[in-house]
Amino acid sequence: MNSTAIATHESYLSSGWNWWSWLSTLDHKRIGIMYTVSITLLFGIGGAAAAMIRLDLLTPHSQLVSIETYNKLFTVHGVIMVWFFLIPSIPATLGNFLLPMMIGARDLAFPRLNLLSWYLFVGGAVFTIYALLNGGADTGWTFYAPYSTTYTSSQVFAVATGVFIAGFSSILTGLNFVVTVHAMRAPGMTWFRLPLFIWSMYATSLILVLATPVLAMTLMLMVFERTFGIGVFDPALGGDPLLFQHLFWFYSHPAVYIMVVPAMGVASEIISCFTRNSVFGYRFMAFAILAIAAFGFLVWGHHMFVSGQSAYAGTVFSLLTFLVSVPSAIKVFNWTATLYKGQVSFEAPMLYALGFIGLFTIGGLTGLFLASLGLDVQLHDTYFVVAHFHYIMVGGAVMAFFGGIHFWWPKITGRMYPEGWARFSAILTFIGFNLTFFPQFIVGYLGMPRRYPEYAPEFQVWNVFSSAGASLLVFGYVLPLIYLLWSLRYGERALNNPWNAKGLEWETASPPPSENFHATPVVTEEAYAYARAESPHG
């Protein structure tokens, strides 16, 4: 396909613009876009809660909102950002759109199931927003018993139901992806010719399918205990609140890998394209992704070192946590080595990807602090932990998500984004992010606890730094929304392969036709066969 031919034919976008053509579509690309719109709106709500939290924390005494409202704010921020933005972000948007195209298929294995997943996701979001409008829950996204089951009268039932329903959306999306990757690869697309983004989607889907049911049943047990006043978590009846934490974290630690593994896949794609180099140690990277998915199920106890869990169990979980961090370290070194002897260029996606490596590395390394038993006693439930998981989830997953959106924007919309603005927002996000979350490491070691609207005066200086940084970060997220929407109408028309990237999705039109490929492609070369192909922009 000559990369300079401008796409003027019938694309998946032009096959109907009325409501019904979107709400009843079975086209994985349209469903991907519907997810993108939904999670952008939900990101707005979660982000607004975060902004209010950061404003309230400017002063040691909670002056912007009452402390009860503050508790509801961080619950909204947690629930919406985890289940309604981060978990679906890359798999449901880029994954839905690109997975069939990258393996040469016409659509996912079960299109109707895919549409049902979106409706379940929206249904779950409606419940959660209903709860938010009716007073919201104040238990934090962790719902720890016995507070969630006995001592709070807030909207825990509605939020738990919302997350329960959205959980099924995750399970069905995971099921769809696993079956599609197994059964519908194009001829010649062997497992070790799959792009690493597909490996990351596959591993993420395994975790989605194997972990989410545990969350669904745990929330159901919690809600039943709340409603009927009896349950296995109730200490008054001899139940064990730590049992809830075991069941909850058995899902929630694999869930953090659901959030970061897709970002690893996106980063691999972007870095190999903008260094014109095949990913260093492709097989090691693929096995590392699977190792993270598998070991991710063994380490949940590191969330419970000081929770009353036995010291011996804590020791076992600490050792297993160190083992699970080795594959992540391997990936960082391999990304760095991919730049070696390449043709490195710095388009916006590459800046986002490099930002991802930097922030993910800091996030991963601070995870090692927390995995050490002795140190976790001091660091647990302080702002050190808050900074750690924001570095991984916001620094890692969201940076890579924005990088992926920019990298595949021409393929999705047929338009180019404004390069200058995009580079500026990538750098602004990186700087704003570090200003926001690095001070939290320091105030964390000082001992400032999480979820505190009222804090000791000596922590204020770091909180002011953090809130200042947050005001920069906000622009880092709002800017892309503006210029990307602008580019839909005024953006330069995109070629089929504007980056001269390798991958089946670049061998079809931008935006692609409804059936993705006019003829099913046959794969002959290895993944990332860039070896001296001409650099971007010809």
Partner 1 sequence: MAEGVTACAPQFDDAEQQRTASNLGIWIFLATEILFFGVLFAAYAITRVRYPEAFAAASRLTNLPLAGTNTAILVTSSLTMALGVHAAQHGARRAIVGWLSVTVALGCAFLAIKAVEYRLDYLEHLVPSLDFRYAGPQADQVELFFYMYFFITGVHALHVLIGIGCIATIAVMASRDTFSPDYFTPVDVTGLYWHLVDVIWLFVFPVLYLISRS
Partner 2 sequence: MDSLPFFPDRASTIAGSIDNLYFAWLILSGVVALAVAVAIVWFAVRYRRGSAADRSLGDVAEHEKTMHHIEIVWTVVPLVLFLAMFFWSAKVYYRSVTVPKDALPIYVVAKQWMWHAEHPGGEREIDELHVPANRPVELLMTSQDVIHSLSIPGFRIKQDVLPGRYTTLSFTANRPGEYHLFCTQFCGASHSLMVGRVVVMEPAAFEGWLSAHANMPTMAARGAQRYRQLGCGGCHDAQATVRAPKLDGLFGRPVQLRDGRSVLADERFIRDAVLQPTQDVPAGYDANMPSFRGQISEEELLEIIEYVKSLSNAT
Partner 3 sequence: MTNHTYTRPRVYVLVWLTLLALLAVTVATAFLPLGWANTPVNLAISVTQAALVMLFSMHLRAAHPLVKIIAVIGFFGIGILIILSLFDVLTR
* CA gyration radius, the chain: 23
**How far apart (Å, rounded) are the C-alpha atoms in residues 330 and 340?**
16
For residue 275, the minimal CB distance to partner 2 (Å) is 7
Binding of partner 1 at residue 504 (CB under 8 A)? Answer: no
For residue 319, the minimal CB distance to partner 2 (Å) is 6
Return the DSSP state at 505: G
Binding of partner 3 at residue 182 (CB under 8 A)? Answer: yes
77-92 per-residue burial string, b: 16 or more CB within 10 A, e: under 16 = bbbbbbbbbbbbbbbb
For residue 261, the minimal CB distance to partner 2 (Å) is 18
Binding of partner 2 at residue 517 (CB under 8 A)? Answer: no
Residue at token pair 């969330």: 303
For residue 313, the minimal CB distance to partner 1 (Å) is 13
Binding of partner 3 at residue 243 (CB under 8 A)? Answer: yes
Total residues at interface with partner 1 (CB under 8 A) = 42
For residue 483, the minimal CB distance to partner 2 (Å) is 24
Total residues at interface with partner 3 (CB under 8 A) = 22
Residues of this chain, 304-333, that bind partner 3 according to CB under 8 A: 304, 308-310, 312-313, 316-317
Of the candidates 218, 205, 377, 190, the one whose C-alpha atom is nearest the C-alpha of residue 302 is 377
Nearer to partner 3, 170 or 361 (CB): 170
The backbone region for 275, taken as left when phi is positive above 0, alpha when psi lies in -120 to 50, beta otherwise, is alpha
For residue 233, the minimal CB distance to partner 1 (Å) is 9
Nearer to partner 3, 306 or 344 (CB): 306
376-404 per-residue burial string, b: 16 or more CB within 10 A, e: under 16 = beebbebbbbbbbbbbbbbbbbbbbbbbb
Binding of partner 2 at residue 538 (CB under 8 A)? Answer: no
Binding of partner 1 at residue 175 (CB under 8 A)? Answer: yes
Binding of partner 1 at residue 221 (CB under 8 A)? Answer: yes
518: partner contacted, choices partner 3, partner 1, partner 2, none (Cβ within 5-8 A by kind): none
Residues of this chain, 350-379, that bind partner 2 according to CB under 8 A: 354, 357-358, 361-362, 365-366, 368-369, 371-375, 377-378
How far CA 489 is from CA of 4, 484, 485, 528, in Å, comes to 20, 9, 8, 32
Segment interacting with partner 1 (CB under 8 A) among 12-20, 107-115, 467-475, 482-490: 107-115
Binding of partner 2 at residue 330 (CB under 8 A)? Answer: yes
Binding of partner 2 at residue 135 (CB under 8 A)? Answer: no
Burial of 369 (0-12, 13-18, 19+ CB in 10 A): middle
**How far apart (Å, rounded) are the C-alpha atoms in residues 465 and 387?**
13
462-493 per-residue burial string, b: 16 or more CB within 10 A, e: under 16 = bbebbbbbbebbbebbebbeebbeebeeebee
How far CA 20 is from CA of 41, 111, 123, 240, 413, in Å, comes to 20, 16, 18, 50, 20
* Peptide bond preceding 88 in cis form (omega within 30 of 0): no
Binding of partner 3 at residue 500 (CB under 8 A)? Answer: no
Q: Residues 118, 34: contact at Cβ < 8 Å? A: yes
Q: How many CB atoms lie within 10 A of CB 240?
A: 14
Binding of partner 2 at residue 332 (CB under 8 A)? Answer: yes
Which residues form the interface with partner 1 (CB under 8 A)?
100, 105-111, 113, 171, 175, 178-180, 182-184, 209-210, 212-214, 216-218, 221, 224, 228-232, 236-240, 243, 246-247, 515, 520
Which residues form the interface with partner 3 (CB under 8 A)?
182-183, 210, 214, 240, 242-243, 246-247, 250, 297-298, 300-301, 304, 308-310, 312-313, 316-317
